Amino acid sequence: MARHPNGSETDRPAAELSAAVAPSLLREMNQRLLLDLLFTGGPATRPDLARAAGLSQPTVIAALDDLERAGLALSSGSPAKPLGRPAKVYEADARAGSVAGIDIGRDWLHLSVTDLAGRDLADLDVRNSAKTAAGLVELAAHSLAELTDKAGIRPDEVTHTVIGSPGVLDPRRGSVRYAANLPGWHRAGLAHALTEKLGPSLSIDNDANLAALAELNYGAARGVRDFVYVTVGTGVGIGLVLDGRVYRGFTGAAGEIGYLPLGSDGAGPRGTLPARGMLEEAVAADAIVRNAKASGMSGSLTAKTVFAAARSGDQRALAAVAIEGSRLAQLIASIAAFLDPELIVMGGGVGQNLDLLKPEISASLATLTPMRPTLISGQLGRDAVVRGAIARGVVLAREAVFTARLA
């Protein structure tokens, strides 16, 4: 008889489960199903839930009673009926837990905390003044405490926190790889330091993946099964959604397109490995500033001020934007050839200026490929990463609360 390493026998085939175990698993499945329906569909009566779940009325009544006793569901009066006894209305208790999302960028931290339904309790923007990884961990912890205080809850009352960051978490070293724009973020033990300061129920995910998840759930890609989210800002990355799910690759590095050998005349000296990839060096925000200065612009420039000048008709700024568009066209052509997505969503501080970039992208694509992918701007702007963090955190927090109270 196979046993679990902790001595339990719960990993036996279903056919060997005892009569006492099988009904309890079925009861738990029914509870999860009904709680999910209440979260996704909103308040409902028992007959409504029975029809939606395909369960009998007695089964629904028993499961709802369990959810109510556990503090996961609430019942109230019912819709007015002309005749007969009013039916009880149930809803998920979104106050049973809370979720925090933190978008860590080179210049800013964007934070949000919500209930289990994803409804905002508070938001906070904090300038990233940290010079080291340790300083950034402290800043994130301090900002989360300020955020929860603003929301009227304690930091330890957050059920789950999701951090969106450039790069890819290496679970063996507890570090984040490929995050060249965050000094020291690659050091071993970073994940442990974050959990010590922010709490043990914490996830770290790639920012482009979270932004793609947000556009899938709330933004420009709702209802689309296959699309690519391209973020261009201080860094460059893509989030891949294939068959309705975020695709991360074997090591989690799918989408680290900053390292594509595009946008430059060639590689660096042999034997050297650049901190930033060739494409990122060629198209990230600082490249736009370099191109603008090469076109004759001067003063304290940022990518934002260059795009603003281009909108006002400044020919030097328009020249810099045209260079950016032609280089992005190489990336778009590559994505179209490899993935043939239904949609490419552009985001990030640079990518959200698609109205200015698109003419040159289209003109360059005409010389590169016969493919004509559909390009649109993301709808969520700078909130995309933190909204994606909340979307992922809500799923994890609901599961944690359910497990703690019922499973």
Domain ranges of the chain: 18-92, 97-210+385-405, 220-378
Please choose, from the candidates 342, 318, 124, the residue with its C-alpha nearest in 3D space to the C-alpha of residue 215: 342
Sheet hosting strand 375-377, strand order edge to edge: 245-247, 236-242, 227-232, 343-347, 375-377
DSSP class per residue in 199-249: -SSEEEEEHHHHHHHHHHHHSTTTT-SSEEEEEESSSEEEEEEETTEEE--
CA 377 – CA 367 distance, rounded (Å): 23
For residue 276, the model assigns a pLDDT of: 80
Does the fold of domain 220-378 match that of domain 97-210+385-405?
A: yes
CATH number for the domain running over 220-378: 3.30.420.40
pTM of the model: 0.88
Count of residues making up the chain? 407
Domain spanning 18-92: CATH 1.10.10.10: yes
CA 360 – CA 132 distance, rounded (Å): 38
Mean pLDDT, the chain cut into blocks of 10 residues (407 residues total): 41 44 83 96 96 95 96 79 71 97 95 97 96 95 97 94 95 88 88 93 96 97 96 95 95 93 60 74 95 95 97 97 97 96 96 96 96 96 97 97 91
Instruction: Specify the CATH superfamily of domain 97-210+385-405.
Output: ATPase, nucleotide binding domain (3.30.420.40)
Work out the burial of residue 317: count CB atoms within 10 Å of its CB; fewer than 13 is exposed, 13-18 middle, 19 or more buried. Answer: buried
Residue carrying the six token digits 């990355």:
237
What amino acid is encoded at 268 in this protein? G
**CB-based contact 140:132 (threshold 8 Å):** no
Helix (H, G, I), strand (E, B) or coil at 40: helix
Q: What is the DSSP letter of 8?
A: -
